[in-house]
Structure 1
Amino acid sequence: MGSSCNLVQLQKRYVERNVRQVGLQSQEIRLGEDTIRYWKGGKGPTLLLLHGFGADGTVAWESQILELAKHFHLIVPDLLWFGGSYSLKADFSVEHQARAIKNLLEHLQIQKTDVMGISYGGLVAMLLLAESPEQVGRAIFVASPGPVYNPQDYEELLERFQAKNPAEIILPRTHSGLKRLLDIAYRNPPWVPFFVQKDLIEYVQDNPEGQRTALLEDLVSNFTRVRHRLQIHPKHVLIVWGSDDTIFPLKIGKRLKDYFGAEAQLQVIEGARHAPNIEFNVEFNHIVLGFLK
């Protein structure tokens, strides 16, 4: 392993050390054909955090874990085929992801939890809510359009990035692709030395067996079916969006607010793109705590 790989792995270990210091512990559980790695800890009501593409649970939510563990009992899983989670079953549907999370909650004997999901993780949270409304209390959806996303939005996404499919955008294989992904996530992308970029690409890109691409392909192919299952009307909803999100522009977040109606709050973080929880973590945490407390 080269020095750059060591730097990427060192950063990951640094994140995990920080998470342990606020009381979370890593565990792994086999549930049928699914193996789920998750972190849990903290005191208070239960809050489930679901990440999107580009990271596992702790990397995506580190800034939130460090603050929210003071107020909540956190459950932070890696979704299937991210981090330490995987499945022996070649079912790449988002419904499979939601079932895996539901099974984890049942294993942990969690009868009710609040949930926060970002992007793809928000979609998993919505399906969990649709299938098991009795298990979900308050819901926070971050940059995740769910039932209001339509074919025109998808075509505009591909046109915006001159891409043939979403995998070209969010599963980079080249240095230029990584730069574009960082520009998508951040208003002011972090500087990554060139010698580190190769290993960072390996971290964020597809798995060797292609499962993350398969997740995206299944979602695109079957989104009409998924949308039909997202007839959800939760009573307490917070929607958080970056004003400059280029994956899901703010107009889609406003459409989601209209879909949920008066029960939903929409909070826009000015200047943020697709990772407001990371780049604008202080403002983001303030918004989330204001809603949950």
Structure 2
Amino acid sequence: MVNLVHVAKKQLVQRLAKMAGLRQRAVDVDDAGTVISIWVPKDKLPAGPTAEEMETERRKKETKRNGGRLSVVLLHGFAGDGILTWVLQVVALARHYDVYVPDLLFFGGSVSPAGADQTPGFQAECVASALRRLGVERCVAVGFSYGGFVAFKMAEADPALVVSVVATGSLVYMTRSTSEAMLRRLGAASFAEFLLPNDVAGLKSLFAAGTYRKWWLPDRVLSDYMKLMIFNRKERTQLLEGLVVSDEDAAVVVRSYRQWPRFLTLPVRIAGDTLALGRQRQHLQHGACEKPQRAARREGDAAKHSKGGPLGDAGAAARLQRLSQRVPVAAVTLMHHHDDGRGAAYAQACYLAKI
């Protein structure tokens, strides 16, 4: 029987990515057999098959373009691979940026031998290595959910590569206390139970928690999605186990991030305000939402926020838009505290345009 999601991905999603000027490539990142599958701007792929030839050609093009465009790396979450998660953003961003969309290890076409490190740090190392081999020297790392953790690790490990981070539905670290609180709220025994569902009902719960709007798909389509996208269960379970760190270890690193002059935090409290945020979403995208702006001004002053002070309601969106015009390249983390998980998809779409 034909897998409908596979057909849609091949005929629609990948075609849109190619129309935006991207091509899929597999990049060897070490000698152990680790391979990162990544969508790359086609003009960044010279005819020469070797890494040395690619680097030479890249330097020629970079010189001609007088520095070139900013590179943006889009890192996906647990519910899908790179291009399926980001295709709509790719279409919009590729007009102005060099967009790179990798599959993280054990997702899509990215693989690593048995016994490989299962932490966000190793994911970050592999993505950074792939980018370096493709000639990327500076980039903005954009992460959704699990991809946000990887983005922060990239910035921590390779600040020369990552000029800023945009993260939504994520944190700098997943501490043990935070993970326990989230699992209680979700009513799940583990993140693997929630993020790696075994049946259609579980997949519906996952999608309901990760999207702003309620939407309906036939069980046949959801079943096909599970068959195509949810595999490598053992390895992905280990990834989730490697995500959680102690509260003490995380506190040290979070304090170091606070020293960044362009580090902004934006807690978006969705509970009880989901409908209000939804009503304002189109106005926020154009920076013309007056009510949230007034609410944001009541929350405190923008100068305080630019030094790390938090914002607490839907008005934070309008404030961030104003700040992003004054801060050259803002490192932004969207930490949404929610009861039902809605709002993540909208926040992702709203702030990518403000890189």
Q: Same fold (TM over 0.5)?
A: yes
Unmatched tracts of structure 1, length 5 or more: 246-256
| TM-score for both structures, normalised by structure 1 | 0.81
> What is the letter of the counterpart of residue 9 of structure 1?
H
Identity %: 28
Distance in 1 (alpha carbons) for counterparts of 2:120 and 2:342: 26
Distance in 2 (alpha carbons) for counterparts of 1:268 and 1:70: 28
C-alpha displacement of 1:82? 0.5
Partner of 2:37: 37
Distance in 2 (alpha carbons) for counterparts of 1:27 and 1:152: 39
Residues 96, 192 of structure 1: alpha-carbon distance in 2 compared, 3 angstrom cutoff: same
In the alignment, does 2:202 pair up with 1:155?
no
C-alpha displacement of 1:196? 2.2
Partner of 2:352: 288
C-alpha displacement of 1:224? 6.0
C-alpha displacement of 1:145? 1.3
Unmatched tracts of structure 2, length 5 or more: 43-67, 272-303, 310-329
C-alpha displacement of 1:215? 0.5
In the alignment, does 2:242 pair up with 1:218?
yes
> What is the letter of the counterpart of residue 181 of structure 2?
E
SS in 1 for 2:209: helix
For the aligned residue pairs, the C-alpha RMSD in angstroms reads 3.2
Between 83-92 and 228-237, report the one with greater CA deviation: 228-237
Q: Which structure's CA Rg is the greater one?
A: 2
SS in 2 for 1:87: coil
Q: 1:111 aligns with which of 105, 117, 137?
A: 137
C-alpha displacement of 1:108? 1.5
SS in 2 for 1:49: strand
List per-residue Cα deviations over 1:51-90 (Å, max 9, x = no partner): 1111111111111100000000011110000001010142
Partner of 1:254: none
Partner of 2:8: 11
User: Do the aligned residues in 1 keep the contact of 2:268 with 2:335 (CA within 8 Å)?
Assistant: yes
Distance in 1 (alpha carbons) for counterparts of 2:181 and 2:335: 22
Distance in 2 (alpha carbons) for counterparts of 1:124 and 1:260: 23
SS in 1 for 2:35: strand
1:200-215 equivalences in 2 (<5 Å)? 200-207=225-232, 210-215=234-239
1:30-109 equivalences in 2 (<5 Å)? 30-32=28-30, 33=32, 34-41=34-41, 44-90=69-115, 91-109=117-135
Residues 229, 88 of structure 1: alpha-carbon distance in 2 compared, 3 angstrom cutoff: farther
Q: 1:273 aligns with which of 331, 335, 343?
A: 343
Partner of 1:175: 200
Distance in 2 (alpha carbons) for counterparts of 1:179 and 1:65: 26
Would you say how many aligned residue pairs link Structure 1 and Structure 2?
Answer: 271
User: Do the aligned residues in 2 keep the contact of 1:142 with 1:241 (CA within 8 Å)?
Assistant: no
| TM-score for both structures, normalised by structure 2 | 0.68
C-alpha displacement of 1:243? 4.6
Between 51-60 and 106-115, report the one with greater CA deviation: 106-115
